[in-house]
Every structure is written in structure tokens, then in C-alpha cells.
Amino acid sequence: MSRGLFITGTDIGVGKTLVTSALLQALGAAGHTTLAMKPVATGCWQTADGLRSEDAEELISAMNQDASYREVNPVALETAAEPIVSAMRNRVNFTTDEIAAQAVSLSRRADWLLIEGPGGVQTPITGKDTTADLALAIGFPVLLVVGLRIGCLNHATLSVELLQQKGLRIAGWIGNEHDGAMSELEPTVHTLEKQIRADCLAIIRWQPRLDPQQLARQLHPAARKISR
């Protein structure tokens, strides 16, 4: 039976690709077949094979089943901007229903499909839909990546409230420390644990040189929890 997880974040640049890649490897190490999607990617570069996203390429390297680049990243946008702005600039039209149908089809080909949503929870991706609407259309439980930096309590609380208002199930959350500059990390995490009514699956501490394999091993317990 195939299962899926929609990974979103409290903001851009909070480590969604990092977490998604590590979870793909952790699930693979546990014996599961895995596929990934980054439905909408901006800031893509031109290649002989078309537009490519660095994040999507990273997910492809981490999953253990084969899929075409376009299946992993159906909407590749060249302009480095918010998805809705980039789509308008590049004259690309798409709908959340189209992406959701592609996700459902891809999910049938592996035990797990992990989807990295664009931007944050409330990021507009079309004229009428946000990242949260895309998650709702796909129907997978949501994993929230919380960027552990000043302001994260506000961002996390608002993100959780919006996900709950949409009727989305929160599978858990992972905190990611960005740069080691947060002086009150432990009390901040403790407050987040009280505010977010979902499991804290992991806290990723900042490292100057993060070892992807080491991070994947750190997320083995998280992979086991979501696999139950």
C-alpha cells in the first residue's frame, strides 16, 4: 500500500529539501521504496534537456525508484521569484488539480511518495490557490519544517492554525536550526512543543558542514514514526 507525506515549512529557506532528502534516505534504509515530487520549482536553469531545479535534482538523487524529471518536477519556472510571480513572468499556466492528479499517479509506483511543497504554507501558487490548498488537493498528511530562528514561534503557530483550518492532518514537525546564532534554542523548542499539537519528530542542530548521510541516520526514528 502506497503512502505519502506533504512537506511544507514555516517560511522559505527553512530546509524543506534537506529534510525531504534525508527522510527519503531514511525510509529507503528501512526497506521502503521511495519517490519524490517538487511540484513547483522556481529559479530553474536551462539545460539541453530543458529547465532543471537544483532542489528537484537533490530529491531525485535521494529517492530509490525511477521517475522522469518531469514527473518529479512538473512545473519548472526560470524566474527566481514567488511561484505565482514566476509563473506570470514565464507565462506558464497550471492548476492544483493537475498537480494532484500527477501526485496520485506517481504515488502508486512506490511505498512512499514525499512531496516538497513550494515556499511556506500560505505561499500563493496560482491565482486562487496556496501551498496549503495544494496539500489539501493531494490529500497527504503534512509534515511542517520549522526554521529555528527568531520569529519562529509566530510563524509556526500561524502555519499550524492555517493547516488546521484547511482540515489537513499534521503528521508531525521537524525543527531545523539555521546558523547556530539562536541563543535561546532549548526554551524555544520547548515552547513549540507546547504550542504545536503534533509530534516533534526531530530537531536538527546547526553544523558548519552537514553530512547528508549522518542526517539521514538521525531521521531514522522519524521515518519509523511516520511509517506506523
Q: What is the CATH number of the domain that holds 119?
A: 3.40.50.300
CA dist., res. 158 & res. 25, Å (int): 30
Answer yes or no: is pLDDT of 193 > 90. Answer: yes
Residue 84 forms part of a structural domain? no
pLDDT at 209: 81
The torsion angles phi and psi of 29, rounded to 5 degrees, stand at -65, -25
Answer yes or no: is pLDDT of 202 > 70. Answer: yes
Q: 113: Cβ–Cβ under 8 A, 6 or more apart, which residues?
A: 2, 3, 4, 5, 34, 35, 36, 37, 103, 106, 107, 140
Residue 180 forms part of a structural domain? yes
Cell numbers placing 142: 503534512
Residue 85 forms part of a structural domain? no
Lowest mean pLDDT segment, chosen from 37-41, 84-88, 201-205, 208-212: 208-212
207: Cα separation from own chain's centroid:
21
CA dist., res. 203 & res. 207, Å (int): 12
DSSP for 22-63, please give it: HHHHHHHHTT--EEEE--EE-S-EEETTEEE-HHHHHHHHH-
Residue 211 forms part of a structural domain? yes
Counting residues of the chain whose pLDDT is more than 90, the rounded percentage is: 89
Cell numbers placing 121: 504554507
What is the number of domains present in the chain?
Answer: 1
- pLDDT band, residue 182 (cuts 50/70/90): confident
Residue 45 forms part of a structural domain? no
Instruction: Label the pairing between strands 45-47 and 50-52.
Output: antiparallel
Which amino acid makes up residue 108?
R
Which amino acid makes up residue 76?
A
Helices of type H across the chain? 16-29, 54-62, 69-72, 83-90, 96-107, 131-138, 152-165, 185-195, 212-218, 220-227
Domain housing 188: 3-39+57-69+96-227
Residue 200 forms part of a structural domain? yes
First-to-last C-alpha distance (Å) of the chain: 13
- 172 forms beta bridges with 143
pLDDT tens digits, one per residue of 98-121: 999 999 999 999 999 999 999 999
Which entry of 38, 128, 166, 225 is annotated as an active-site residue? Answer: 38
Q: 34: Cβ–Cβ under 8 A, 6 or more apart, which residues?
A: 24, 27, 28, 62, 63, 64, 65, 110, 111, 112, 113, 114
Residue 161 forms part of a structural domain? yes
Active site residue 16: no
Count Cβ atoms within 10 A of the Cβ of residue 75 and give its class: 0-12 exposed, 13-18 middle, 19 or more buried. buried
pLDDT at 128: 93
Residue 82 forms part of a structural domain? no
Cell numbers placing 190: 520547548
Answer yes or no: is pLDDT of 1 > 70. Answer: no
The torsion angles phi and psi of 55, rounded to 5 degrees, stand at -65, -45
How many CB atoms sit inside 10 A of residue 133's CB? 17
